[in-house]
Amino acid sequence: MSVVKGIPRLRSLAIGLVLVLAGALFHPSAAAAASARLRLLDFNACDQYGRNAACDATPTQRASAIVASINSFAPNVVTLQEVCRSTVDMALASLGPAWKAQFFSTFTTTDSRCQSVDHTCGIAVLARSPVLTNPQSSTLGVETSGEVRTLLCIDVTIGLAVRACTTHLTSGSDANAAVQSNKALDQIGAWTTANTVLVGGDFNLNVRACGNADVSTGLRRWYSTRFGAGVTRCYTGVGSMYEVDQYRAGGDGVYDETTLGSAKIDFVFGNRQHVNADVDGDATTSSLSDHDPLRGTLTAHD
């Protein structure tokens, strides 16, 4: 009699155990953070048709090359500088509806480099994201030419929520670029604790120029741990960012690759609060720009 009564009781306990396990499987604890291996491509596109021999490709050719590079590397985010709105529009049309873009005009051309009705040129963030939200632009400085140096940021969803930013700092003055760099970081620093922040840009500060005080002033607040000039790592970072081409213990030994002649002035950063140290960077080559594209790979987490 007691055995017969125990069978329903055991069945009830078993069902309860299954439900508990199912709940654990389908409702992970808050401690289980989401993570994703992400790729970011940064490229100063040098949209200078008819003005710069090193960049003498038509907008159509440039857009086609950008799309080919994106399709080859399969990045989640692309940051572009020195690019015409028309080039971004052509690239986006070729990439298809899975890609979205946020463009910011830093100046309007008076020549034929941007061969469309819209003659604006500037910076852009492209992402393979359902939507782009919360765009923000911050002025970092204004050139005598009227070009506005700007930090552009946008929220994207690429496996997890990410704040993606780009900038193009002044050329010809390391001191001015350093001031602009720190202004950009002041803006970004407010987000690094709560958010995954990725930044790709042309800073015009040569991280390989070991001993340059302006380079140190402009970059040391970005970098976590030592950086610069390859193995010598002559600068001390005091910031919260990992740079994909930055030396790290246990890395493959390839870092501080050149992106403009013998200089490294293009960067891809991720904040260490939400990015692991297993970063990797690779500068490729381009026949239609005086810059080389920089590919970055990193693991981001909530």
Q: How does pLDDT run across 33-60, given as a tens digit for each residue? A: 589 999 999 999 998 766 677 788 888 8
Short-list 87, 117, 82, 88, CA closest to 100? 88
Give the pLDDT of residue 210.
86
pLDDT (tens digit per residue) in 164-174: 999 999 999 99
**Residues 275, 196: contact at Cβ < 8 Å?**
yes
* 3-state secondary structure at position 199: strand
Residue appearing with tokens 């100063």: 44
Which parts of the chain sit beneath pLDDT 70? 1-33, 49-51, 111-113, 115-117, 230-231, 250-254
- pTM, rounded to two decimals: 0.87
Around Cβ 18, how many Cβ atoms within 10 Å?
10
- The pLDDT score that the predictor gives to residue 251 is 64
- Which neighbouring-strand residues pair with 297? 39, 280
